[in-house]
Each structure stands twice: as structure tokens, then as C-alpha cells.
Structure 1
Amino acid sequence: MIEHDHIKPDDIAAPIDIRLIPAATLTAGVCFLIPMLPMFWVRWIPVALPFIGGIAALVLWFFRSSKKRRLVNLGLIFTIACWMATPAACIVQHQRIAAEDSGWLQLVEDLGTARMSVQLVTDPVERDSPFGPNWFVTAKVEHFGKDLVPTDHPAKIVVSGDETWADLSAEDHGCFMGRVSDNESSVFVTALGAVNQGTCLGPDHTQSTTGRDQMRTTLRDQSAETIAYAPELLPGLILGDRSQQSEHLDEAMKISGLSHLSAVSGAHTSLIAAAATLLFRSLRLPRSIVIAAFFCTLLLFVQIVGMQPSIIRAATMGAIGAWALYFGRGSQALPVLALSTIVILTISPELVHEVGFQLSVAATAGIVLGAQPLERWLHRYLNKVLPDFWASMLSSSLAISTTAQLACQPILLSFIDYISPYSLLANLLATPLLPLITVPGTLAAGISVVAPAISQTILHLVAIPTSGIGWVATTVTDLPGAKLAWPDGIAGVLLITLHWAACAIFIVRLLRSQRRPKPPVKLDERVPRWRRSMHSLYRQHQGVTSVVQSMILVIAVVAHVAVFWPSNGGGVDDNWDIIGCDVGQGDMFLIRTGAASAMVIDTGPDEALAQRCLADANIETIDALAVTHLHADHVGGIGGVTARIQPAQVLYSTGADPTYPAAETGLPDDAQHVKEPVVQVIDHAADQGVHSVQVRWTVLSADSQTSNENNASMVLLVEIYRHGGTVKALFTGDLEEDAAAQLIAQDLVPEDIDILKLSHHGAQNGGTELIQHTAPKVAMIGVGAENSYGHPHDDILSALGANVEIRRTDLDGTFSVTFEQNQTYMAVDR
């Protein structure tokens, strides 16, 4: 039987226009590379680009009659790319020379100290740090140095300061003394004192509160009256203001892959513009009026939200796309994205270094290339088990979320070291709630000053879906395996390469399937479906290229499964005696007291990482938990420890600074505040045949009167009797140099320590006297990878010398130290 199935006009997808992609790529390349090149290349690249383009144009002129039209077209695309990238190269050259002449580059390279006059780019955000609460803010330096040299070039910094920064908001000005602390991927500056509102140029250059500042402040105040997660999320979901998000919720949004929702981007812009266009069209206004109103809506929304990279990209792309539609020039999204990228980078080349801009372009490119073919492929299968409406909704959401996530993942891995396996699920649940928040929420923000009662009512209504997004984020974060660590080194690089290659092959195959015409008739064959499928696969894989592509896809899938498949066993030596837990920028150490028991010293800053270390070590009993002091990087993970295992006893030390109340740290009610020396013995040798060990631990110092929380650190001497000998380990918390010297002078610290846990993550203020006095054989450092504090300091590492075996969690991950029969030590890296 023959069934007629006529081909519809949209059965064959239009070819993708990639002619502007080389120009966009070259423009981004020169903007990214020129600031890092020697000055010789900086001066000559803007000259070389139009020259090379001119030479290519002359060659094309002579071969214009050639029959090899493909080569001629490729040459023309290359010529256009060179010419279109030239303006951006010239601007980057000017900025680089200006930065060199002003002395800014020298200040950054020398990690210098200078007076700085800045304009805030973001609102200050409070975060815990090893030294207590800090406020972090991104700012543009306008003047710096003793003479307040103007910066006629991009000079963006990330400032870490005290509570005085909390009084400022985005676009405010501030004047402070700062020291450059890091200049690798970003320029980090530590404020050495309070910030003064206004510029450093005097009272004639003070700032005034703008309508946008008043609107943002009013929105924060009104959002604070709503329910559940809405007070923290509403300012971000509506205006991209994340200043109200707590550290816990901010981390949950990142882990669940929902942080893009609170950074206003293309989705928000599209929703606002679409709502405005629908309104104008419903009023039956002329087409020219509608397009003008569309542009005005974009400008107004950008002005309200602020000049964020993702907003700039989305607004520019929307404007170019609308212009193309209005004048009948086509509406294919990829060339519009490429042209908007060129325009934006020509105006502001420094945006190429902004992660927000990179993610915005990558996500849009992924959606443009892969969403439609993936949606059609998914719909074909979902339509067999679901009604058409739900199949269409689910396939569309899955396609958009998947392609955006795959495109952004390699960029995300440049500043986070994990992936979120539940992010796709979280986006499927949370993204449909965004339109219920963005459009009415923006309206509420716009009228919040003139009609606060109406605005407050709207915000109470949108608080319900907003709380839904917060619930999804926090629930997903609490699921097992919510953070899967990406492998380090060559394994991580190879996995990223496989990721990119597999994604590219998958998208290309989907796109080709769209270009393959369907037959005008459908034959009802009697051949079994499995035989038809096998025959189809055989025909598709006859070519060598297809075979290689299929092999890459299989290898990529197997590699990802092998790396991230959960394993039952821990990553440490089964016979370990001491474990240094990789908990990021913080301390957590385990002293083995039996086959499945341990003494825990500190818990790091993260509950999930603390739990993971206990699980990897197969710990079932905690004989004692000692918190050296109450800084977040030593006590922040205690909730994860006590939720998994209830310790037999909990001890802590803290000073006289009221900033660190024990009641707010999660310590159990029966925790003991240690104020004087303590000696205890943990002896399971009689009933532990598998791992026979005796542990004696002594509190050498716990200063409860000091106002410096670091110097309140509990100093612990742990003596471990194993294999017929005793190993002495000294744990010093964050003890600073002056307090350490005082303990040594009082003869409280023994000499000839076998294992020393370096004070304060190896910071310079820990000093070297303790190292010289104890002469350790093994040094352990709990420290986060690429931390902004410069830990461990080179002076500390030099003081240890070549004969001391160093183990540090930023390089080794979770490591174990195992005592051997002859009392030498072997460190087994995870």
C-alpha cells in the first residue's frame, strides 16, 4: 500500500550563512590577543590587516574569471574579514599604548599600591573570607596614583574591601588606597582602608543619585517584603542586581546551572521586546512606528538594567535583527550574531575578556546552530509517547537548554572546576517560570518610585514563581553528586577536546539531516524495523569520515561516563594515617584512630566537600572534632560533618572579637570552648586489629582573649603511636608570626616535629620561625587552587627547603600520609 505524503516547504532547512563567521572570529582574536603581545606586534597588526586584505583583493581581481568559484569566494570572505577586523585592532592598539603610557600596566605588573578613583560596575556583594566578611565589587579605574593619572583605556579591577563598600552601588564613584594582589586572569585589588564616596578629584566632582539608582534601591526595599527566596532573587531576575543574594543561594544557583537567570541576558531582552512589540502591534500602529518603538524599548531596558555584557550583546543583536527584518534583508540568526559581535567588539574591544560576554555569545551560537535540528529530532520520538503539545514544549525546552549548556561548558570550566549533572533538569523546571517574572517584574520596577503600592502588589504576585526558581536551585544542589569534579591536567584537556569534537559532529549531522529531502511517498514495507535500521546505519557509515566521526562520538561518551561514573571506593591509600582533605580554600584534616574512625581537625568552608572527604576515607566514627578557630574556611563545613556523623565530642577555640559568634557557625550546642591546655588519649588498639593505633592529642594554646581570630587558633600536638614508634604532628590553624614567636619563647612548642601543618595556608604572615624551630620532615598545606590571596607564599616554601616533603591540596588534591614500618613517610596523592 502506498501512502502519499507531500513535502512541506519547511521540510528542508535553509542553508546556514557562515560568511561573517571568519570576520567575527578574527575580530575577537585581535581583541583578545593584542593586549598580551609585545609592543612590536601591537603597533604592526592594525597596519598588517588592511594590507593583507588589500593584497588578497588584488589576487582575487586577477582570478575573478576563474572557474574555481569556491576558492574565489573563500578568498573574498578572508579579505572582508581582514578589513572588518581592522577598526577593532586600531582601537585595541590605542588602548594598549594609552595603558602603557599612563603607567597602569607597570603598576599591575609590579603588584603596586596606589590611590585609585573608581566607578563601580556591579553592586558590592558580601562574602565570607578567611579574615571575616568582605565586600567584593567590580569597578573601572578612572584615575590612579599620587598625581591621579587619568585612564583613557580599560582598567577594570575586582576590589576586596571592608564594610564601607556596602554603602555604594553600581555606577557610584569611590576613592581608596589599594594594592594589586593578583594580575593573572583578572586584576584583583585589596582596599587598604575605608572607601570614600565620590571621586578623588575633590568636592567639585561629586556624584548625584540617578533615577536608575533610585529605582534599583526601591526595588530592593520592596522585594525585601516578599516571601521565601524572592527577596534575594527578585532584584537579580528583574534588573541583574545580585547584591541581595546570600552566599548559600548564590552557590546553589551556580551549582544548579541557573545563575544565568539572575544575570539579565538575551532571554530577558527577548521577553521584554516581544511583549512591547505585541502591545504596539495590537494597537494597529504602522510598521515604521512599531520598529521605532521596538528600538526605544531596547534602549530603555538597557538603561534600566545597566551596560552588562550579555545585555549589550542581546540588545545589539535584537536591533540588527529587527532592522534586517524591516528592510527585508533576511533574519537568519547566525549572521546577525556574527555582525553584532563585530559591532560590539569594535566599540568596546575589552568585552572580549568578559566571561559574561563569552558565555552569552557561546550560548546563542549553540542555540542558533543546534536547537532547531535537535528539537525536530527529539520531537520525532517524544511525539510517539506524548500528546503533540507537550511533545513540542518538552522537545523545544530540552533542545535550547542542551545546546546552550554544551556550548558554554568549556568556557565555564575556565573558572569553575566542576560540572553540574542536574543543570539540564533544573533549567527545564525553572526556565518556564522566567516569563512570569521578567515582564511584570520590569513593569513593577519601572513604576516602583511613582506607584509603590501597585509595584508592591505585582512583586508579591511574581514572588511565587521566583520562590519556585529558588526552590529548584537549592533542591538540585542537595541531590547526591550535584558537583562532579572535572579532572585536572592532560586528562581534563583531552576531555574538553573530546567534548568540543563530539558536539560539533553531532550538530553537523543534525544539520545535514535537515538538508536531506524526504521522499514524496512512503512505502509500507514488510521488512522488520531493526533490519531497516541496521541497513540505514550501514549506508551512513560507508565513508571513512563517517566511521571516524562515529568513533569520536563513542569515545567521547565512554570517556565522560568513565570519568564521572560514581565509584564506591575512596581516592586515598587504604592504609592511610593522616588525610589532607581538598576542601578548596580552607583546612580539613583527618587523623586515623581506627579502621573506620578518625579525629577531625577543622571542616573547611563547604559542607558537601567535607562530607565527600569523610566518605572517601570510609569514616563511620569521629572520636573528636577540633575546630581551631571560627573563620569560615575552618568551620563552614561543620554542618556537613555533623549531618553525616555525630562526633563523640566537639571542641573549638575563638577570641574576643564579637564578629565571630559561636552560635552562628553551626557548632552543636554541646561544643566545648577550649580556653586552656587539654590532654586526651584515643586508644582503640585493643579492639582494632586491622589498624592498630593510639593517638594522644594536646592543646598547646587557645587564646580566648586576643582580638585577632587567627591568633585565637587552637594549636594541637598530635602524637600517633603506630608500628612501634611515635609520629608527632603539629596543627597550627591560622596562627600568625607574632603569636607563634610568643609560644616558642614560652617553650610551649616542642622541637623535632615530624609533620607540620603550615599556618594560615602557607601565608607570609605565618612566618618562618615555627618552621625553623620544628624542623619538620613533612609539611602539609590546605589551600585552594588559584586562590586570590597568593597562598602559599614563596618565602614560606623557600624556608621549608629541599629536604622537606610538601603536600598541598591545590596541587595534589586530597592526599594521604602513610607511616611505614621504618618510620619514613610516603605521601599518596589522590
Structure 2
Amino acid sequence: MRSLPISNLLSDFRIQIASWGDLRLLALSLAIWSGVLLSNGIGFLLSFVALALISFGTLLIRAVRVEHSRIMLLLLSMAFVGGALLHFRALPLEMLTPYIGKSVSVEVVVTGDSVARSQRFGSVMAASFRTPARLEVLGYEGSEIRLRIPVSIMTSRGDFIPSTRISFDARVIAPRGAIAGTLIAQGKVRLLGEPTHLQNSAMAVRWGMKKAVAHLPSDAGALLPGLVLGDTSEVDPALSADMKTTGLTHLTAVSGANLAILSSLIMLLMKWVRSPRWLTIMVVGFFLAFFVVLVRPQPSVLRAGAMAVVMLIAYGRGVKRAALPALAAAIFFLLLIDPWQGLTYGFALSVAATAGLLLLAPPLAASFSRHMPHWLAHTLALPIAAQIMCAPIILALSGNLSIMGVIANCVAAPLVAPATVLGLLAALLSIISLPLASFVAWLAAIPTGGISWIAHRFAALPFASLPWGSSAIAITLFVLLLLLFALFFRFHIKAALITIATIFVLLVATSLVPNGWPPREWVMVMCNVGQGDALVLNGGGGKYVVVDAGPDPIAIDRCLNDLGVRHISLLILTHDHADHVEGLPGVLHGRKVEKIWLSPLDEPAYEFDRVSRWASGISLMRAPVGETFKVGALQISPLWPRRVMNESAPNNSSVAMLITVAGLRLFLAADMEAPAQEELLSYLLSHREIRASNVDVLKVAHHGSANQSPLLSAYLNPQFALISVGAGNPYHHPAPFTLQLLARAQIFRTDRDGSVAVIHPLAVVKPRHTIWRRAG
């Protein structure tokens, strides 16, 4: 094996830099971005990355022979500018601080689409829809202030069109991120001004698209508006989760590909009619501007739009190789206009993916083409380059690596262009002829159906996603391994390709080897679903009961797959909070559920409506509190709620139950808080025949929050205490107070132990931690 000649590496690096074109603006853009990151105090790792970007920019400018001291002065100045911009933009956001917690009257202009939410702020239950807006008039105690600051409004309506002017009385809630505060509507919302003609036209296209796909199969029809317009409101959470696992989520984040397809079609049409260059630029520019309004100005759209403007200018001047300077200009100007974008994952992923396609894909394709057909080399190079650049950011966001992402993207790639072109045509036709638009949408649904099939099938593979970790050490280790493999690939490409193929074969082989999970004689598994609850009870003979679905469809789906659960005799949803029911599509994915028990309280109403819609066709009934039912060997006795309590109603109305199976007694406390626990204790003390004291296993209430009754904990006196809780959760669950209450029990926590199983004879076990086992 020959050594790696450093001189050759440096020479290759200089040649590669020279092939990228003019990089001066890129270095300045990276420096501004670094200043934004550092100014926001984002921690050691990202600060180090930011400094590395400045250093990399220095190398790039040195490659074009600019004097060194001037380089450093310029780059550091740009970093300072980035930090100053962030603080300058933050100043207006503090204008609502004196009004936090107070009631005010406001006039706002809607700036984006509403998102259905249900959230409690202290004692105030927020309304059903969150909408971005611009606050322009604030009234308090008889005085009015005129201003222009971004806010988020919570109202009972979700049909506002951007640019609509409204007024209402509101309560001001503390700000989060790049907004000055949240305004919770109190009373009637009054319409002051209609939306602009441009926004009305865009909304007509979006609504028309929804009508055009209404008759299509669920996945294919829901995915088409997402692919074309970035509208994912109707996409099934299970499909969304599978696309995330397989690295296909970017298809529903409208960006450069959509703009490139639209621009190419218009330019071909203008060329066909022999249009002069200036007219072509104007027409393309108009359609691009309308398209940005149509799909909404999200970070990836703004980045792509800014690049498109620079590319049009370059086209008008006859400049070639303008892609990378266009990316640099997009970063530069977007951060100057709104530095908060530099702190969002969407912006970072969009820039990283584009940089990968521009910088890494060409040399990768050239290397691959020496060992495989030209078309295959380019097909592989594009997703690999994007995945390499985005992987560290995705790790920081989710802690998982998409093992099948490259292959899934390669398989799906031929379907994207026809789906996008036909989808755009269907969207435009929808405002002219709905039947014709529906027919074109039906044609477009063929490739989108294929994309959804790819997402589901690849996500179902046992090695589709690898839990890696999101800590600074985990990300640094991944980047170092990536760099080492890049060096190996540079000098031993054949060996590298063989290594990749070997790893793939080993992944398949490893997935076929039993890993001891689930253990024999298991009676209950607490699934690791993050900050939420999901339990599976085994009644024997294929009889399974699932208690809650957690917040994440993909997590519960995988847990049930690991347990081999395909048929569910009973699903119990203890209450309608998102961390217990949002995973329901994952429970229903490929499984039959015979019936569902619900809490007697249908709050929050938005979540209850979603549950009802997802569970359409399944028998729904209230949990029969005070009665006992058998499912196989399971004896289920719902003990609470005996009444609906006003205080913290959904939690204190959640279904708590005693389970008896194989001689073991398990108490599942749902999300009960201290008042409900103490009332239940009074009932249990007066009904000793229930035998709920000294249980074998307690599923601790409310993720181990501090709102517990010491008296009920002492009465239950469990041998094992199981806490379903998410790692690094913002609520600091489980609370030290709760852990102290349970000091006599052996405690298992999903944030540290992962999924755990209760077995007979009584024991609690964890899965063998092989690196390729899917996270449950």
C-alpha cells in the first residue's frame, strides 16, 4: 500500500478549487454566517464549525492570490457584521416585552399559512391555529403604537390568506426564536383588509390543486401538492416519517429542482418563439417571483430564488460557471436581509445540499465513471454528494443516519421530474378546468405513488436508519470518519467501492440474525418513543393490547415491528395530548385494530378530531371505568377517571388501569397528576378488593414529572418503576422529587435504557445493544 503524498493532495485541492470558479463572495458569505452563529451563542461545536468555515474561506481566497493579512481582516470584519446584524434585528423583537402577560388590542397582517396546533400556555389554552403575521398597531390602555415586527398569532381560524389585515384583542405570550411574541386571540377576529390579488391568485392555485387530487389514492394524492407546492398538510404522518427515514423528505421541500424545472420549461418555450434574451429574462423572472409566492417563502425557496436571480443576471451578461457565485450571493444577501435564517436547520440543509451538488458531485461522478457507466455514475454522485454535506446537520437535528437514503434517492430520482412537471401543469389547469386538472393530476399520481411506495418499502428494512447520536462527540467522530474515508476513496477507489458493497451485504446479513428481542415470556414492553408514552401488552395467542401511541409514528411502528405485532385486539388512548396520540398512524400502518378505548374528555379538540379521522372505520368507545375485561391472558381494569376534573383536565382525565397477567400486577398511571392520584387513592382504600397495593410494576405518571402524590406512590410500592421519557427533554423529566419517591423500586427509563420489557417470571430486561438493531 503506497503512502498518501501530501503534496499530491494539496495539488489536487488547488486544481479542484480552480475548477470552482470565483470564490471570493463565497468566503465573505461564510464569514457572515459564522458571525451569526457565533453571536447567537450556539455552543462549542458549532462555534468551531463556524471558525472552520472562516478558515476554509481563507484557503479559498488564498487560492486566487489575495494578500493574507487583508484576507483575515476582511473575513473577521464580515463575521463581526454577521453578529451585529443578528443583534440589530433582535432589537425590535424586544418591543413586546413590557406587554407579556397583558391584554392588548392589535392589528396584524398575515404573512404565511396557518398551522393547526393545540397548546397550553400556563392557564391559557391556545386556540387551534398558529399563523405567522406582522404586528403593525398595538393598543394598550387607550394608547396606540405603530410598528412592524414579526409575531405569531393563535386564533380559532385557519383560513387566512397571506396579506390579509385583521384586528383582535389578544393576550401577549413570551417570544420564541425570531418573533417578538405570540398573540393569543381573545374574542372575535375582525377583518380590516382583503388579501392582495397576487396572494388571492396563488391561493386559488393551491386550493385548486387540493381539489384536483381529492379523488386520488391517499399517499399519491397527498404527496403531489407537497412535491409541487410544498403543501404537506394532507400527507399521512406515517408516509412523512418513512420519507424522513429514507432521506426523501427534501422532495416536499420546494427548492432548486422545482425552480430549475420551471425555468427550463419557460426558457425552452421562449426559445421556441424566438424571444430576445431580455424578454426571456423578464418572463422567467416574473414566473419565478409568482412561484415563490405560490409555494411560500421558506428558507430553501428563498435560497433557490436568490440563486435563480443571480443566474438570470449571469445569463443576461453571458457569464458561464455562475452556479457557485450564485449560491454565495444567495447566502450573502439573504443573511443581510434576515440573519435569523442562518440559525434555522432548513436554511443550513438547503445550502449544504446545494453545495454538495456543486462541489462534490462533479468529481465524484468523474471518479465513478472510470469504473461504471456514465449515467450510473452521475445517478449515484448526486445523492451521495448531497447526503455527505447534509449528514452532520441531520445528525445534529435527529441523531440518526439514513443508511438507505442514497439508494432510495437513486431509485426515486427518475420519478421526480415527470411528477413535478405534470403536477405543475395540474396546478395551473385547476383554475381553468378542474376535470382536465384532475386528469393530469391522475397521471402525476403514478410517479408520486411510486415515490411513496419506495419510501414505505425502504423504511421497512431493518437497517434503514442507524441511531448515531447528536452530541458534539458523535458528530465530530462522524466527520472524522468521513474525512478518513474520503482520503481512502481518493487513492483506492476500487477498494472503496468493494468496501461499500461489503458493508451493504453485511447490513443485510446482520438484519437477518436474531438479536434476542423481544425476550421470551414477555408480558409488556415500554417502547422508546421519545417524550411520550407507548406500551404493548402481550395476552398470548396473538392477542395484543397497545396503550398510547407516542408522539412519533415511525418510532411506535418500529417498536411494533420488532415485537412482531400485526393484529391489535385493543388500543387504549389514555388521553388526547400529542405525546400520546400523534403516533397513531404508525400503529395503524399495516395493522388491523379491532377497537379503541378513549378518555371521557375530548380535549384538546384538535387532537381528538385527528384521532377520529385517523381511526375512521374502527370501533371507538369510552374506557369502561370500574369494569374488568379480558384480552387473552390479560385482565384489564380501568380505575380512572371516575369523574372529569377541571384542573389540568386532559392529564387528570387520562385513563389509569390495573393489568393482571401471568400472576403479575402492573399499574399504568397514564398522565395523572397529584390531585387525581389522591382522589384515586381514596377510592382504592375504600375498595381493598381491587388489590392495587404493592404492585409488581408501575408505569410512572406523566413521564416522571414532579406533580406526583407521595401517598399513592407509597401505596403502590412497586418493585419496578418504568418511566417513558425523552432524552434531553425541555421539561427536565424525570424530576428528582419523583425519583426520590421511587427510591425503593428499581427504575428503568427509556431515555437511558431504550425500550424495556417486563417478563415472566418477574424481571425487566433491555434489548441486546447491537449497533444495527432498529431503535424502538
TM-score calculated relative to the size of structure 1: 0.70
Q: Which has the larger radius of gyration?
A: 1
State the partner residue of 1:15: 19
CA distance 1:797–1:439, change in 2 (3 Å): same
Which deviations, in whole Å up to 9, do the C-alpha atoms of 1:258-300 show, x marking residues without a partner?
A: 3323322111112222223333333334444444444444334
Cα deviations by residue, 1:142-193 (Å, 9 ceiling, x for unpaired)? 677957877766x566x7x57x23222445466574675895x788988766
Q: Using the alignment, how far apart are the partners of 2:404 and 2:296 within structure 1?
A: 31
695-704 or 461-470, larger mean C-alpha shift: 695-704
Evaluate the alpha carbon distance shift between residue 366 and residue 665 of structure 1 in structure 2; reply closer, same or farther with a 3 A threshold: closer
Task: Provide the TM-score with structure 2 as the length reference.
Answer: 0.74
- What does residue range 565-580 of structure 1 map to in structure 2 within 5 Å? 565-566=510-511, 568-570=514-516, 578-580=524-526
For residues 587-631 of structure 1, give each alpha carbon's deviation from its aligned partner in whole angstroms, at most 9, with x where no partner exists. Answer: 223456779987654444556544543554577998976554576
Residues 343 and 761 of structure 1, relative CA distance in 2, 3 Å threshold: same
What is the alpha-carbon distance in structure 1 between the residues aligned to residue 529 and residue 188 of structure 2? 36
1:29 Cα deviation from its structure 2 partner: 0.9
- The structure 1 residue matched to 2:748, chosen from 807, 810, 822, is 807
User: Is this contact kept in 1: 2:639–2:655, CA < 8 A?
Assistant: yes
Q: What is the CA–CA distance in structure 2 between the aligned matches of 1:80 and 1:564, rounded to whole Å?
A: 54
Aligned to 1:91: 85
Q: Which moved more, 1:636-645 or 1:214-223?
A: 636-645
Tell me the residue number matched to 1:218: 204
Task: Work out the CA distance in 2 between the residues paired with 1:627 and 1:679.
Answer: 17
In structure 1, the partner of 2:671 is 734
Counterparts of 2:243 and 2:703 in 1: how far apart (Å)? 28
1:652 and 2:634 are equivalent in the alignment: no
Q: Distance in 2 between matches of 1:767 and 1:189?
A: 35
Change (3 A) 1:129 1:556: farther
Match status 1:410 vs 2:392: yes
2:353 pairs with one of 353, 356, 363: 363
Which among 706, 721, 724 is matched to residue 782 of structure 1? 724
The residue correspondences of 1:263-278 to structure 2 (distance < 5 A) are: 263-278=253-268
The 5 A counterparts of 1:31-430 are: 31-36=36-41, 73-100=67-94, 102=95, 104=97, 120-126=110-116, 135=129, 137-138=131-132, 164-172=156-164, 177=170, 197=189, 206-223=192-209, 224-226=211-213, 227-228=215-216, 229=218, 232-327=222-317, 330-383=320-373, 391-392=374-375, 394-430=376-412
Number of the residue aligned with 2:467 = 487
Q: Deviations over 1:677-713 (max 9, x none)?
A: 33468998xxxxxxxxxx7653334659899665554
Deviations 1:624-657 (A, max 9, x none): 765545767556767876888889x967344264
Q: Determine the C-alpha separation between the residues in 2 that align with 1:752 and 1:600.
A: 24
RMSD: 5.3
Letter matched to residue 339 of structure 1? A
Query: CA deviation digits over 1:346-393, x for unaligned, max 9?
Result: 22211102222111111110000122222233344443xxxxxxx53x
CA distance 1:469–1:641, change in 2 (3 Å): closer
The correspondence for 2:624, drawn from 663, 672, 675, is: 675
Does the 8 Å contact 2:600/2:622 carry over to 1?
Answer: no
Within the alignment, does 1:746 sit opposite 2:683 as a pair? yes
Percent of residue pairs bearing the same amino acid type: 26
Shift of 1:668: 8.8
Equivalent position amino acid for 1:782 in 2? S
Once the two structures are superposed, the pairs formed by residues 505-516 of structure 1 within 5 Å of their partners are none
CA distance in 2, matches of 1:265, 1:644: 32
Q: Deviations over 1:565-597 (max 9, x none)?
A: 535224577686653211344322345677998
- CA distance in structure 1 between the partners assigned to 2:404 and 2:63 by the alignment: 48
- The partner residue of 2:638 within 691, 696, 699 is 699
| Separation (CA, whole Å) in 2 of partners of 1:720 and 1:156 | 52
Partners of 1:553 and 1:80 in 2: how far apart?
45
CA distance in 2, matches of 1:461, 1:681: 52
Distance of 1:470 and 1:295 partners within structure 2: 32
The CA distance in 2 between the partners of 1:478 and 1:70, in whole Å, is 48
Kindly provide the amino acid, as one letter, of the partner of residue 756 in structure 2: F
Instruction: Provide the secondary structure at the position in 2 that maps to 1:583.
Output: coil
Deviations 1:236-255 (A, max 9, x none): 33333333444444444434
Which amino acid counterpart does residue 369 of structure 1 have in structure 2?
L
Residues 539-561 of structure 1 show CA distances to partners (whole Å, capped at 9, x for unaligned) of: x57xxxx9xx9999979996997
CA distance in 2, matches of 1:87, 1:610: 46
Q: Which residue of 2 aligns with 1:472?
A: 451
Cα-to-partner distance string for 1:695-749 (whole Å, 9 max, x where unaligned): 7653334659899665554432235676xxxx64321223455544432333358
Conservation of the 8 A alpha-carbon contact between 1:782 and 1:809: yes
Mapped to 1, the partners of 2:576 and 2:706 lie a distance apart of: 21
Deviation of 1:464 after TM superposition, in Å, equals 1.8
Match of 2:461, as an amino acid? G
Q: 1:746 to 1:70 in 2, by over 3 A?
A: closer
For residues 792-821 of structure 1, the C-alpha deviation after alignment (integer angstroms, 9 at most, x for no partner) is 475874773655654332443212457888
Paired residues for 1:409-808 under 5 Å: 409-438=391-420, 442=424, 452-454=431-433, 457-458=436-437, 460-479=439-458, 480-481=460-461, 484-487=464-467, 489=469, 496-501=475-480, 503-504=482-483, 540=491, 565-566=510-511, 568-570=514-516, 578-590=524-536, 600-604=546-550, 609-614=555-560, 616=562, 628=574, 634=580, 652-655=597-600, 657=602, 660=608, 666=615, 674-679=623-628, 697-701=636-640, 703=642, 713-719=654-660, 728-735=665-672, 737-747=674-684, 750-753=692-695, 755-762=697-704, 770-771=712-713, 774=716, 776=718, 778-785=720-727, 790=731, 792=733, 794=735, 797=738, 800=741, 805-808=746-749
2:240/2:249 contact within 8 Å kept? yes
CA distance in 1, matches of 2:715, 2:139: 42
Between stretches 752-761 and 625-634, larger displacement belongs to 625-634
CA separation of 1:676 and 1:151: change in aligned 2, threshold 3 A = same
Q: Which moved more, 1:790-799 or 1:395-404?
A: 790-799
Counterpart for residue 535 of structure 1? none
Give the direction of change, closer, same or farther, for the CA distance of 1:564–1:496 in structure 2 (3 Å limit): farther
Distance 1:753 1:509, change over 3 A: closer
Q: Which runs of 5+ in 1 are unaligned?
A: 1-11, 39-55, 61-67, 384-390, 513-539, 685-694
Structure 2: 5+ residue stretches without partners: 1-14, 44-57, 770-776
Q: Structure 1's 550 and 29: CA in aligned 2 closer, same or farther, altered over 3 A?
A: farther
SS in 2 for 1:351: helix
Distance 1:181 1:557, change over 3 A: farther
Relative to structure 1, the CA distance from residue 676 to residue 433 in structure 2 (aligned partners, 3 Å threshold; closer, same or farther) is closer
Which residue of 2 is the match for residue 25 of structure 1?
30
